[in-house]
Amino acid sequence: MFVMDELIFDFSVNLPRVLVGGKTGVLDHVKQLLIVTDNNIVAKCGSGYISLSGSDLSIRQLSDERVVVSGEIKTIELFQRER
């Protein structure tokens, strides 16, 4: 990864960012939650949307534009707003 890419990744607060490992997923820059169910969580992250699908999903932490999701995460989808 180039330095510029890293800077964009770290400081761009208006882009969706998701980190998934094992049974935990971390969604950053969350502005709004659109769908919250035990098998699907959709969050609006500035200029895009993140959708996590799976089973037994629950939000372990919700604070400071960060949502920590735990459960069996099967699918991650990213949507961009139409311009």
Partner 1 sequence: MHYKTIRIEGFEIHRLLSQCLKEGIGLRNIRILSDCEFTADVNGKDWLRLTRMAGSKYRLTVTREKGLKPLLIQMLSNRSAVAGVILFIIILFLQTSFISEIRVYGYESLTEREILQHLKDAGLYVGCSRFVDPDRVEIEMYRKLDILSWIGITFKGGLAEVTVVEGTEPIEEVDESQPCHIIAVKEGYIEKVIAKEGKGEVEKGDFVHVGDVLISGILEIEDKTYSLDPESKVYRYVHADGEVYAKTVYRFICYQDVYKLEKRKTGKSIPGIRLTIGDRTLSTSGFITPFETSVYEEKKLIDILWPVPLELAVNRVSELELYRGKRTGEEVEKQAKRQARQLIQENVPQSAQIINKSLKFLPEENIIKVTIMVEALEQIGEKKPFIPRDVPRDQSNDQQKIQ
Tell me which residues touch partner 1 (CB under 8 A): 30-38, 57-65, 67
**Least distance in angstroms from the C-beta of 63 to partner 1:** 4
**Least distance in angstroms from the C-beta of 83 to partner 1:** 23
What is d(CA 58, CA 8) in angstroms, rounded to the nearest whole number? Answer: 30
Q: Could you write out the DSSP letters of every residue in 25-59? A: EEEES--EEEEE-SSEEEEEETTEEEEEEEEEEEE
**Least distance in angstroms from the C-beta of 68 to partner 1:** 9
What is d(CA 10, CA 57) in angstroms, rounded to the nearest whole number? Answer: 27
Sole residue written with tokens 């735990």: 70
Nearer to partner 1 by Cβ, of 20 and 62: the residue is 62
Nearer to partner 1 by Cβ, of 8 and 19: the residue is 19
Nearer to partner 1 by Cβ, of 35 and 78: the residue is 35
